[in-house]
């Protein structure tokens, strides 16, 4: 794990090289091996300096998340961290100079190890990033990051760096004081070695700034006016941003606040307590499981059919140049794929292309892209009104209005031009793919690709299989999704598929609460406090109450006597048909949208939906808004719409902003425990209706003592 060598000048190189892994990570085994090598170098009188480096393309990616996900013993975690801190402090205080040669990305525990070295030199590698991303997984840096970073950067910059989880380039890391030098790629070891020889030649003990007499925290300490203002403002901003649902950023503030008022060894002990508390928390377990392991599984196309050659895309077609079509075209062109953007007229197609032009101008203005780079991306988009231009496209994505007849017409016109093996994909959000494929002369090549708006930014694509969609078409569609940098989940055909169906329950429950006489402000505040990006009534306005109403009417027409009337249907019908309040797009919905002021709840709601004198508690409203999504997700799994709980959680978090700290709709059940979830749903079914009733499959799962996830 650690390659140990000593050269003729007495420089010991400790080179990280974890077998069987593409990246180095910190865990009990690697740290034990590194500790043994470090002690060997420190004890060898002939060793004048120690160089820490990596044999892999990157330095160290951070801590072993599999180890952290499985960790439950607080004392064992605490004991291990104390050993790590002791090792790092030994490197810092024994006196021999220690330098880190950072050849590539250095994150989390890797950066913490580097900060424990007296000198840090990074390669000018454009792909390399430096940072503490732990907060994005519900954790904090546990190997000294919350104590060393503020002592190098200053309190305010360090807090921003630690709580936002940003990954910065080498030049910025040097500017912030985390790195001493940036050198041409391949020269980092040479530069680190030169510093070690110079430091050794000076004689005396090499120490970190905080171990030297008279050390002061850059920018001032906690108890200065600036320091106190930073923490007061930071606490307020943090509460507003997280609603208290994410303990990690709060714990980071506490680590820095407490640790900067004492010596570094005490600060490290403080950090250890907060870190262990987080590792054991359900929020961290949920976020590690869903945001790392499940996301990694999805991005690696774990559900891609095997034995299908990978599809490389050079040219695709985009049917419809509205906001959705323009966004998809932009994502494809940015990924280096030629796009034929087609609409009913050349002028309409040009408007779609202009959407990309505006996005690219913004990137150029921010120095994120060169003018030539922007021009090259834009040149890949060909605006057209002629179906003949689809010739040679490997894939055509349809994003026209949600009208079956229109979709059937464009399907036939497209298939008359494209090659026999080309894929036709519909971006429909609710219409069953099998039904749409009836217009196709090759249903095996017909598939659903449900993008989310704005398609250029939203990371999820829901891939929907029709009954006749071939495995090869699925594999090739997944290749396209990965090619444009999106994350796919795979679902089977059904009304509303997965994301639209479960997302709709959040809106519907909010409207049901409104009809029952719950105060609209309580409903929407509960949604935000629950962790959702927007309250259900505000979100209904955003997606359009009219659309909610249209979908309900279409579903009722399709299902006939099987359709089950919902409170949301009555609320939406009243708002749209009788009151003409269509949502944000019309300027009038549950909210008013004045041109010269902030939006506010429509005063007329009180007349149409009188508020009862006795209101439910905040927790009761949160429970309904969250659990309705979980029980509907379970139905999707049991009906075979979803093929895995992992896809359910990834799809919810990326698709409609389900709160990551809950892990996803299935992660929420796992956190509560099946018996508790079933009991809560049975209670809600009696109080609110059968939509909350647990399935027999859930009861069977509980009786068998099984659960959705092993950890």
**Active site members:** 450
Best CA proximity match to 50, nearest among 210, 197, 203: 197
CB hemisphere CA count around 529 (13 angstroms): 14
Q: Let me know if 267 is exposed, middle or buried by CB neighbors in 10 A (0-12, 13-18, 19+).
A: buried
Give yes or no for a contact between 156 and 226, defined as CB atoms under 8 angstroms apart: yes
Q: Which residue has the tokens 């004492």?
A: 262
* Terminal Cα distance for the chain, rounded: 28
Question: Assign residue 531 a region: left if phi > 0, alpha if psi is -120 to 50, beta otherwise?
Answer: left
Best CA proximity match to 488, nearest among 453, 449, 526, 525: 449
Distances (CA, A) of 327 to 351, 353, 357, 456, 488: 12, 9, 11, 5, 17
Residues with Cβ within 8 Å of 150's Cβ and at least 6 positions away in sequence, in order, are 158, 159, 217, 256, 259, 260
Question: Assign residue 220 a region: left if phi > 0, alpha if psi is -120 to 50, beta otherwise?
Answer: left
Strands 446-451, 460-465: pairing kind: antiparallel
Q: Which residue has the tokens 């940098």?
A: 485
Distance CA 515, CA 511 (A): 6
Q: Which residues of 1-25 are buried (b: 16+ CB within 10 A; e: fewer)?
A: bbeeebeeebbbbbbbebeeeebbb
How far is Cα of residue 391 from the mean position of the Cα atoms in its chain? Answer: 37
Q: What phi and psi values does residue 243 have, to the nearest 5 degrees?
A: 55, 20
Strands 106-107, 591-592: pairing kind: unpaired
Structure tokens at 398: 């349809």
Distance CA 97, CA 48 (A): 8
Give yes or no for a contact between 188 and 123, defined as CB atoms under 8 angstroms apart: yes
Distance CA 119, CA 127 (A): 22
Strands 600-601, 591-592: pairing kind: antiparallel
């Amino acid at each position: 794990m650690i390659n140990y060598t000593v050269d003729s000048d007495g420089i010991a190189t400790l080179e990280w090289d974890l077998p069987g892994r593409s990246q180095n990570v910190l865990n009990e085994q690697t740290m034990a091996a590194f500790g043994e090598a470090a002690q060997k170098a420190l004890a060898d009188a002939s060793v004048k300096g120690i160089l820490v480096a990596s044999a892999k393309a990157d330095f160290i990616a951070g801590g072993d998340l599999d180890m952290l996900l499985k960790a439950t013993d607080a004392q064992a975690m605490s004991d291990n961290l104390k050993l790590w801190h002791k090792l790092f402090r030994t490197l810092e205080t024994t006196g021999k100079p220690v330098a880190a040669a950072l050849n590539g990305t250095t994150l989390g525990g890797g950066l913490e190890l580097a900060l424990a070295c007296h000198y840090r030199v990074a390669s000018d590698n454009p792909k390399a990033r430096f940072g503490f991303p732990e907060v994005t997984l519900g954790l904090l840096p546990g190997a000294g990051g919350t104590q060393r970073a503020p002592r190098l950067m200053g309190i305010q910059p360090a807090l921003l760096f630690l709580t936002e989880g940003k990954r910065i380039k080498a030049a910025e890391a040097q500017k912030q004081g985390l790195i001493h030098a940036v050198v041409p790629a391949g020269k980092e070891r040479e530069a680190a070695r030169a510093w070690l020889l110079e430091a050794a030649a000076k004689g005396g003990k090499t120490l970190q700034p905080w171990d030297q007499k008279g050390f002061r925290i850059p920018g001032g300490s906690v108890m200065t006016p600036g320091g106190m203002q930073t923490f007061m403002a930071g606490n307020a901003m943090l509460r507003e941003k997280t609603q208290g649902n994410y303990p990690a950023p709060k714990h980071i503030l506490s680590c820095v606040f407490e640790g900067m008022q004492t010596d570094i060894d005490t600060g490290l002990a403080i950090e250890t307590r907060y870190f262990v508390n987080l590792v054991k928390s359900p929020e961290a377990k949920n976020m590690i499981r869903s945001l790392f392991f499940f996301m990694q599984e999805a991005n690696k196309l774990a559900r891609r059919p095997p034995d299908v050659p990978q599809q490389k895309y050079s040219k695709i077609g985009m049917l419809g140049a509205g906001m959705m079509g323009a966004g998809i075209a932009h994502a494809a062109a940015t990924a280096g794929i030629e796009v034929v953007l087609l609409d009913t007229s050349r002028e309409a197609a040009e408007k779609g292309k202009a959407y990309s032009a505006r996005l690219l101008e913004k990137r150029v203005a921010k120095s994120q892209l060169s003018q030539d780079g922007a021009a090259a991306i834009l040149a890949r988009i060909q605006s057209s009104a002629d179906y003949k231009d689809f010739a040679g496209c490997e894939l055509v994505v349809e994003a026209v209005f949600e009208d079956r007849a229109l979709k059937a017409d464009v399907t036939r016109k497209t298939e008359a031009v494209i090659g026999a093996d080309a894929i036709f994909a519909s971006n429909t959000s609710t219409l069953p793919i099998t039904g749409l494929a009836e217009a196709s002369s090759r249903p095996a090549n017909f598939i659903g690709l449900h993008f989310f708006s704005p398609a250029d930014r939203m990371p999820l694509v829901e891939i929907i299989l029709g009954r006749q969609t071939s495995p090869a078409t699925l594999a090739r569609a997944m290749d396209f999704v990965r090619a444009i940098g999106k994350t796919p989940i795979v679902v089977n055909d059904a009304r509303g598929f997965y994301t639209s169906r479960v997302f709709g329950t959040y809106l519907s429950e909010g409207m049901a609460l409104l009809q029952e006489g719950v105060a609209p402000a309580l409903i929407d505040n509960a949604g935000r406090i629950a962790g959702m990006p927007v309250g259900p009534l505000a979100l209904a306005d955003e997606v359009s109450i009219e659309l909610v109403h249209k979908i309900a009417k279409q579903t009722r027409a399709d299902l006939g006597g099987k359709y089950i009337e919902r409170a949301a249907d009555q609320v939406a019908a009243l708002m749209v048909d009788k009151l003409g309040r269509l949502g944000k797009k019309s300027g009038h919905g549950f909210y008013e949208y004045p041109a010269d002021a902030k939006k506010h709840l429509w005063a007329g709601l009180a007349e149409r939906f009188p508020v009862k004198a006795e209101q439910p508690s905040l927790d009761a409203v949160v429970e309904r808004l969250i659990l309705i999504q979980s029980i509907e997700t379970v139905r999707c799994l049991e009906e075979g719409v979803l093929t895995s709980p992992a896809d359910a959680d990834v799809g919810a978090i990326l698709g409609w902003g389900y709160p990551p700290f809950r892990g996803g709709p299935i992660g929420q059940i796992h956190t509560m425990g099946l018996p508790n979830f079933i009991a809560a749903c049975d209670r809600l079914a009696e109080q609110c209706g059968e939509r909350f009733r647990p399935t027999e499959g859930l009861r069977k799962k509980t009786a068998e003592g099984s659960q959705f996830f092993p950890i």
